[in-house]
Structure 1
């Protein structure tokens, strides 16, 4: 991590944790008053937001550690592992909502009752969630944090879940008694989609998927005078956006060690110049 980045991410998560606690309190109050499935689901969703914030704070503290003998490339993947914890929380929420929705459709749970105060409290909670989404997205982009962006995606589903909870209360009040269960199923599908989106962004980092096309790396290296060819080029990216590149260059067999070292320096500078935050490892072989 760049100096201070981890601390800024941690502070952002602590602030969001406080806001999510406020949202949970509002939803639990409304859920206890109404017994609405969608409201209880929204409370669970916000509660899982809090848990994911706690997981994120732990993950970011580990990810900020300097490289050591056992982790020479640093600990940044622990941040991405934290996003998998968020996905696990989403999966739990999805399963619980589907289960309770089916039970309510089968008459196991009573239809909710509601009052104007309940709707007002949920609207206030909706405003808190919407603010959190915007805040985390802004900070995530500025700090280059996958964890903040993933948590913003999770909370975005919370905004929609809360909106559906409000709709459920209104429809139930108007006499549509199955609205709560049906909208609960919609909420579960939204949560499942959010989990898929997070996985799609996190797994390539965890499995060291190619970050830059090998042909592009080779073309950058080929511009260096004295480099005869490129035998191998590969790359990967970390959660903070740092790029690691590894290339094997071919030089004339009579090249001295000193000259070969100069070639590697040129290649490293060229890659960093073209690709930004890049750390390159260059191997030299005779042509």
Structure 2
């Protein structure tokens, strides 16, 4: 799990796997393009260009990893994770462009049979080497991607897997030429181009979804809701927003708690929700919890409750003869109205005449002030 490694170790793991991939892609690009040219295989040349594009993507990954690993600062309070996401978009667009070039060249050869190339047998061996190398790179990169929770590395891993598939197609295309199907090599090049384009478009769309703050997958959100609802003190959830930044997940949650508890207890429940989510989900790095005494999701935006200063003004007006004895007052905002708790010293409990007068004034407040639904009187020992 990623927690077993500190930030420097994670960065080194990411960099190492990318450098290894870059070196292997340099080797594959050279032998595939070289043998493809001398061995007259359009499909192998296309695969060699594919490997060359992989090398460029590896450079993007290295730069993005270094940029994304920078700590949050004043200008980037959420960190620099989206450098990885933007690099993934560029990587995908590059693949689409490369695929278009390969498909164009192969189609030209299919339309003009005199331009068709006849590969020699050495190209078969290079295709097999490419399959084995890319499949090994896939498993190595995916393992590190899972370990570090890097979407960019996982994307690169599947990129290596697509390279292995494209090399398999090249292998069959070349073999088919030897079996008497002269168009097979060019057709294989077109199929390789389609695979490259498909992978590129997938990377672009997935990364754009992240850049526009699309929600986490539905099953993931469902699990988040489950953990929140199981937290002691949470009565319900009325708003939940999630998003992804690089390999990290961010959550904003509005939870409903008992309307009569203290602010500090509500804050403690929010902290417990945050801790439970970060413990349950490895990739959750930040949780913002908003505490609500009721479900106010559909409350009108024009609703303007009484302020504490306004409530105090009403109390001073209606309870003018008693305010010198009031220790404190608490306000509850519920159902669009205000409830007030007036706290008196316990010594007044037996002063029946004063208490009766206070009750009458409290009832007058409830009657004349529409926004105040109830005034309660408590005695403090």
TM-score (norm 1): 0.88
Q: How big is the shift at 1:48?
A: 0.3
* Distance in structure 2 (CA, Å) of the matches to 1:199 and 1:49: 16
* Distance in structure 1 (CA, Å) of the matches to 2:123 and 2:224: 58
Q: 1:262 to 1:23 in 2, by over 3 A?
A: same
* Distance in structure 1 (CA, Å) of the matches to 2:53 and 2:194: 16
Q: What are the equivalent positions in structure 2 for 1:87-106 lying under 5 Å apart?
A: 87-106=92-111
Kindly report the root-mean-square deviation, in angstroms, between the aligned alpha carbons of the 2 structures.
2.5
Instruction: Determine if contact 1:126/1:159 at 8 Å carries over to the other structure.
Output: yes
The structure that is helix-richer by fraction is 1
Q: What are the equivalent positions in structure 2 for 1:49-60 lying under 5 Å apart?
A: 49-60=54-65
Q: 1:227 to 1:150 in 2, by over 3 A?
A: closer
* Distance in structure 2 (CA, Å) of the matches to 1:92 and 1:103: 17
Instruction: Determine if contact 1:23/1:129 at 8 Å carries over to the other structure.
Output: no
Higher Cα radius of gyration: 2
- Report the equivalent of 2:147: 142
Long gaps (5+) in structure 2: 295-381
Does 1 or 2 have the higher relative contact order (CA < 8 Å, sep 6+)? 1
SS at match of 2:115: coil
Equivalent in 212, 221, 231 of residue 238 of structure 2: 231
1:245-274 Cα shifts (integer Å, max 9, x gaps): 111233455543322322222222232344
SS at match of 2:187: helix
* Distance in structure 2 (CA, Å) of the matches to 1:265 and 1:70: 27
Equivalent in 211, 218, 223 of residue 216 of structure 2: 211
Q: 1:7 to 1:171 in 2, by over 3 A?
A: same
- Report the equivalent of 2:350: none
Q: How big is the shift at 1:8?
A: 1.1
* Distance in structure 1 (CA, Å) of the matches to 2:249 and 2:92: 25
Q: 1:225 to 1:181 in 2, by over 3 A?
A: closer
SS at match of 1:72: coil
Answer with 3-12 or 271-280: which moved more: 271-280
* Distance in structure 1 (CA, Å) of the matches to 2:45 and 2:141: 24
* Distance in structure 2 (CA, Å) of the matches to 1:160 and 1:219: 40
Q: How big is the shift at 1:176?
A: 2.2
- Report the equivalent of 1:74: 79
Q: Is 2:281 aligned against 1:264?
A: no
Q: 1:218 to 1:102 in 2, by over 3 A?
A: closer
Answer with 88-97 or 151-160: which moved more: 151-160
* Distance in structure 2 (CA, Å) of the matches to 1:153 and 1:217: 28
Instruction: Determine if contact 1:41/1:93 at 8 Å carries over to the other structure.
Output: no
Q: 1:177 to 1:243 in 2, by over 3 A?
A: same
* Distance in structure 1 (CA, Å) of the matches to 2:242 and 2:13: 28
